[in-house]
A and B are shown apart, each in its own frame.
Chain A
């Protein structure tokens, strides 16, 4: 399933957050969205997943999601959004319970996604017992359980330390390599963007406009930290957003 943003403009009160953004999200690719904080990246993702409606323009999905897909547009949140009173398995099972699946079918799916995310041994653990990286793995497992047509990831690794982030990036790459999924990956971290993005959309500071769209040909599986081609793209991205980030940093929050 492919998605298109068609001339999206969105405001909160009289503050324009997104200004005339058009983007295509082709099936089977990861699109990274970068931009200084407050430029409307999360808003863009909320519009994509139908949690908000744009003031102008349209969010379109092209084609039907596969029939075994329980929740076509599925989020992975920065703060994990796990229910603290449910175990790891219970958190995954939560999103399957409204779909009329039998108990056995649900158990099968839960076991499968926990195995795929390396959580097999943590079936009955409670979220408070898990490290940040493990919590985000649970959230990814939960997203995979509904077999999404498009994964919407809002800074999924920003709450994690650098080593855990590296491990989870490798996990995401191997998940994508085994079964390519369509993804929109919002981040302010350029290193993440060049590791995971087939294409990288660069937003300007608020009001967010599409400044540039950078394509990286190198297959995901071949990307390593410090790869010269990636370093070059990262430098190019930095030169694009450096001034924006500087200006955004100096803005008064409520101006």
Chain B
């Protein structure tokens, strides 16, 4: 045995490559960005033709709230988003389930959905105006169609990914078809359906704004369009901030639903 060799610790080399939750970093990035812009616009090295002062945007938002205009723009926008995406999402889940469960539905509808998916739905707005009228109908239809296609694709993908072993287990215990669908397929597909919902609703918001820009008196889209045509950057950015907030709100809402319904996932 070799005598008295120097002992040293084995060096650690297993670190990294593992995302760790860091609270507050996201907010800090936002804050720093805003502060830099504020500083730049005040000091003059950012011209106020390029970017508005964040504090001015904030003031515009406060004013919008105090004058009651925020509510009168938000109410029609939210109604359109809720009604349109409710129609699109529920039809999408129903059709996606049908495709996932029935071979005939799959054979008949998947090509149709693939044909619909890549169409920029905004291009169809004139058509919808003819079909459903210049008022709310065409906006509902646009948002519904826009949220429908990604929901269908996400839903039947999620149904396809349900563990076949669980379905076979249900069959081997003689469960009714409705029980297998309701107690095994649907809960198993839920995570996939919900993550599809995130995409669908984001698309819904984009289409909402587009539809409102093309013909609406009230609504966030109309507000942004007006501001833009007057080169009123403060109001334009105020509108954008509201949209971002809406996006964050929707995503937070879905996160809440996931937390409640998918508690079993760890």
Contact = CB atoms under 8 A, between A and B. Distances in A.
Interface of A: 49, 51, 70-71, 73-75, 77, 79, 81, 83-86, 94-95, 97-98, 126-128, 142, 146
B169 interface: yes
A49 to B, nearest CB: 6
B266 interface: yes
A97 B179 CA distance: 9
Nearest to A96: B173
Interface string B33-54: 0000000000000000000000
A85 B264 contact: yes
Interface in B248-264: 262, 264
A146 to B, nearest CB: 7
A83 B175 contact: no
Interface in B148-182: 163, 165-166, 168-169, 171-176, 179
B65 to A, nearest CB: 42
Contacts of B173: 71, 74, 94-95, 142, 146
Contact of B174 (A79, A81, A98): A98
B159 to A, nearest CB: 15
Name which of B163, B169, B184 has the most chain A CB atoms within 10 A of its CB: B169
B181 to A, nearest CB: 13
B175 A51 contact: no
15 contacts: A49-B172, A51-B171, A51-B172, A71-B173, A74-B173, A75-B169, A77-B169, A83-B166, A85-B264, A94-B183, A95-B173, A95-B175, A126-B264, A128-B264, A146-B173
Interface in B216-261: none
A5 B262 CA distance: 44
Contacts of B176: 98
Closest 8 CB pairs of A and B: A81-B169, A85-B264, A95-B173, A75-B172, A85-B187, A71-B174, A98-B176, A81-B165
B265 interface: yes
Nearest to A84: B264
Contacts of B166: 81, 83
Nearest to B165: A81
A83 B171 contact: no
Contacts of A81: 163, 165-166, 168-169
Contacts of A86: 264
B61 to A, nearest CB: 42
Given A83-B183, A85-B187, A127-B264, 17 more contacts: A49-B172, A51-B171, A77-B169, A79-B165, A81-B166, A83-B187, A84-B265, A85-B264, A86-B264, A94-B173, A94-B183, A95-B175, A98-B174, A98-B175, A98-B176, A126-B264, A142-B173
A86 B169 CA distance: 14
A73 B175 CA distance: 13
Contacts of A126: 264
B178 to A, nearest CB: 9
A109 B254 CA distance: 38
Nearest to B179: A98
Contacts of B187: 83, 85
A126 B174 CA distance: 23
B184 A83 contact: yes
Interface in B168-220: 168-169, 171-176, 179, 183-184, 187
Contacts of A51: 168, 171-172
Nearest to B262: A85
Contact of B266 (A79, A95, A97, A128): A128
Nearest to B261: A85
A100 B163 CA distance: 27
Name which of B163, B264, B266 has the most chain A CB atoms within 10 A of its CB: B264
B250 to A, nearest CB: 24
A75 B174 CA distance: 11
A84 B173 CA distance: 17
Contacts of B174: 70-71, 98
Nearest to A87: B264
Nearest to A146: B173
A53 B185 CA distance: 24
Nearest to B172: A75
A77 B264 contact: no
Contacts of A75: 169, 172
A51 B165 CA distance: 12
A119 B173 CA distance: 21
Nearest to B190: A85
Name which of B172, B176, B262 has the most chain A CB atoms within 10 A of its CB: B172
Nearest to A50: B172
A76 to B, nearest CB: 10
A128 to B, nearest CB: 6
B168 to A, nearest CB: 7
A251 to B, nearest CB: 25
